[in-house]
Homo-oligomer: A and B are copies of this chain.
Amino acid sequence: MTTAAQSARAVAHPDREEIRLEGVLHALSDPMRLLVVRQLASEGAELTCSHFGLPVTKSTCTHHFRVLREAGVIQQIYRGTAKLNALRRDDLDALFPGLLDSVLAAADRQADPLDGA
């Protein structure tokens, strides 16, 4: 049962050319996921899933992060028991120049109530 080559749990990510615009837009159209992406962009670093403090259970959390990952929006890397999430800004900017920035700017402008502050 023990497989030696699994010291680092790997997660499948879509390649850059596999990222679809519709998938990205759909991933960003959910308030919860948009909030995650906004935090990821503002903090600009890798964050663990539990850092976001989302008002949902872990199962739902996993679901949303999977949608974001499969859409090519974020990258997930295991690190011990934690899993770090990072925005795939390079890929997104290369594929859809200006898209992420305008979405983030629009989200900021819209005064998201979940952000509080």
**Which of A's residues lie within 8 Å of B, judged by CB?**
20-23, 25-26, 28-31, 34, 95-99, 101-103, 105-107, 109-110
Contact = CB atoms under 8 A, between A and B. Distances in A.
Interface of A (DSSP majority class): helix
Contacts of A26: 25-26, 29
Nearest to A99: B102
Given A98-B98, A98-B102, A102-B99, A107 B21 contact: yes
Contacts of A28: 25
Contacts of A96: 102-103, 105-106, 109
B29 A103 contact: no
Contacts of A25: 25-26, 28-29, 34, 103
